[in-house]
Amino acid sequence: MHFDPFSIEFQKDPYPTYAWLREAAPILWDESTGLWYISRYEDVSALLRDRRLGRAMRLGTTEEPFQPAPPVPEYLASFQRLSTYSLFDKEPPDHTRLRGLVSTVFTPKRVETLRPQIEAATGSLLEDALVKGEFDLLEEVATPLPVMVIADLLGIPDADRPRLRPWSAAIVAMYELNHTPAQENQAVRAAMEFWDYLKWLAEQRRRLPQDDLISALAAVSDSETGARLSEEELIATCILLLNAGHEATVNGFGNGMYALFRHPQQLELLQVNLSAELVRTAVEEMLRYDTPLQLFKRWVLQDLDYKGVQFQAGQQIALFFGSANRDPRKFADAGVMDITRPENPHISFGAGIHFCLGAPLARLELNVVLKTLIQKAPRIELVEEPAWKESYVIRGLRGLKVKAG
């Protein structure tokens, strides 16, 4: 089998290729992309936790790069600023400091307080959609919901919220392996506009704090050292929360619902038993079975021998989350969708120090939207076969046309 991460066939259905890679080449060097590809669960899980690898191209915890980093083109500087100040691309000690500050205010307890408004928003979106008979479940429910939630959480004024989704979509397109010059231009423009907007809003909140996350992030400080988020770190954190949370919810729900339509017996289980526990295990299986984030990269920070393979400092490793989540060595009947799966240690949100900060919010949104959909449209049906986006790293559908049935 030929491995081509850019092919349309691979983007539509990467899982047969994953199955081949796990057996024939579980650790594969690909000259065309300059990446090591890792496809087995055991290896992906271990390397996510290996501190000899990192998101930032640094050696250990020093401030000096272990090799000269290629200069960022001047026109990409505005986009690169997001990575420079975001905990997403930081390593200890900066990552430890930033995550500690953000975790102080963005807590699971605070997320749980959002449940009533998520339930109300989901119900309202579905009611408006259902009166149309046929509608796009992604466009009219799954896409606007997380934007509404994170906008409420951050304190974005209603009039400014329509700008958030286009900004997010343009920025995350840059994480694809084969993004185009046009996408680069759109991402740079979106990063500049989003940055300037949040800078303005943060200044307003510093002067007149409100009961929102931006105000809390602006005020939080370390109880021992007094350290605070810089203006740049606050802005980058807000952008990260929107982008990561939005993409996980939209694509996790879209991919998962399409999988349920293709497994009607699984959908029927929910239609006859909408218990909180079954909804919970269904959401976890949706995330495992067709993972929204298929690939996550790490820099090799020092030469290392891993299972006899020599990784060199400065190389990059691409971890196949989607493949790991279908590895039969870890999951019984890994290629089968089973929403009653009792043990489901998928790695759709990563692992180690970079485990997704927004996972509790994404899980809450997915649980609420799945339960509300089945309650309000227990006989929901797929109208037409959907098309996949021409992307790979972030796997998702262009739309999902349904009717209440």
pLDDT averaged over the chain?
A: 90
* Separation in Å, CA 327 to CA 15, 89, 202, 247, 288: 10, 28, 44, 24, 11
Within-domain flag for 1: no
Would you place residue 66 in the very low, low, confident or very high pLDDT band (cuts 50, 70, 90)?
Answer: very low
305, exposed or middle or buried, with CB in 10 Å at 0-12, 13-18, 19+?
Answer: exposed
pLDDT at site 77: 79
pLDDT digits 0-9 by tens, 224-238: 777 888 999 999 989
pLDDT digits 0-9 by tens, 107-139: 888 889 999 999 999 999 999 999 999 999 999
Within-domain flag for 391: no
Within-domain flag for 57: yes
Closest CA to 365 of 125, 183, 111: 111
Closest CA to 194 of 226, 165, 216, 219: 165
pLDDT at site 36: 97
Would you place residue 60 in the very low, low, confident or very high pLDDT band (cuts 50, 70, 90)?
Answer: very low
Mean pLDDT of 208-224: 86
Within-domain flag for 206: yes
- Taking the chain, what is the end-to-end CA distance rounded to the nearest angstrom? 41
Within-domain flag for 14: yes
CB 313 within 8 A of CB 340: no
pLDDT at site 70: 56
Within-domain flag for 200: yes
pLDDT digits 0-9 by tens, 303-353: 999 999 999 999 999 999 999 999 999 999 999 999 999 999 999 999 999
Within-domain flag for 384: no
| Structural domain that includes position 299 | 8-377
Report which of residues 124 and 68 the model is more confident about: 124
What six digits make up the tokens of 251?
Answer: 């694509």
Within-domain flag for 209: yes
Sheet holding 27-30, edge to edge: 27-30, 35-38, 316-320, 295-300, 53-54
Phi/psi for 60 (5° steps) reads 60, -130
pLDDT at site 90: 84
Phi/psi for 10 (5° steps) reads -65, -40
pLDDT digits 0-9 by tens, 163-195: 998 998 888 888 887 788 898 999 999 999 999
The number of domains in the chain is 1
Would you place residue 223 in the very low, low, confident or very high pLDDT band (cuts 50, 70, 90)?
Answer: low
Query: Residue 254 is part of a domain; what is its CATH number?
Result: 1.10.630.10
Whether pLDDT at 67 is above 90: no
pLDDT at site 63: 43
- State CA 158 to chain mean position distance: 24
Report which of residues 2 and 184 the model is more confident about: 184
